[in-house]
Amino acid sequence: MNFITKSFSELNPTELYAILQLRSEVFVVEQDCVYQDLDFKDQKSLHILGFKNEKIVAYTRIFKPGDYFDNASIGRVVVAAPERKYGYGHDLMKVSIKAIKDHFKVDKITISAQVYLQKFYESHNFIQVGEEYLEDGIPHIRMIII
């Protein structure tokens, strides 16, 4: 897996299309969730693209403090279903956390995590803060790294 970080303006049309396709495949189709993925936040974020054999199979977007939450944040964490068995999600999170530290020079990170992934995020030093809530009809929790 090869990871690269790009701003929105650095994404080429093929990469942007692949990102949107992967997000739609997982968040809309697989999770059977109708929601507005195109939220005008992509333009503010840095995009972490995970390539395998020249195909984007893993992705996150990261935000500097104040652009999504008060702290820096990671969102749209996604790995293509056939690739999950290889542990790429863990690699993706490590790269995303490092990218926040490198680009934004901060350590505090907030995420809105799907409840069923709580243990996954805890393995990356996130802790739950607050109560469970619904986001787009899916149970979520706020988690932070301090």
Write out pLDDT tens, residues 24-72.
Answer: 999 999 998 888 899 999 999 999 999 999 999 999 999 999 999 999 9
Q: Which residues sit opposite 82 in a β-bridge?
A: none
Residue 48: inside a domain: yes
Domain presence at residue 145: no
Range of the domain at 40: 2-106
CATH code of the domain in which 72 resides: 3.40.630.30
Q: What is the pTM of this model?
A: 0.95
C-alpha 102/C-alpha 123 separation (Å) is 21
Number of domains into which the chain is organized:
1
pLDDT in tens, 83-132: 999 999 999 999 999 999 999 999 999 999 999 999 999 999 999 999 99
What pLDDT does 35 receive? 86
Q: Is 117 part of a structural domain of the chain?
A: no
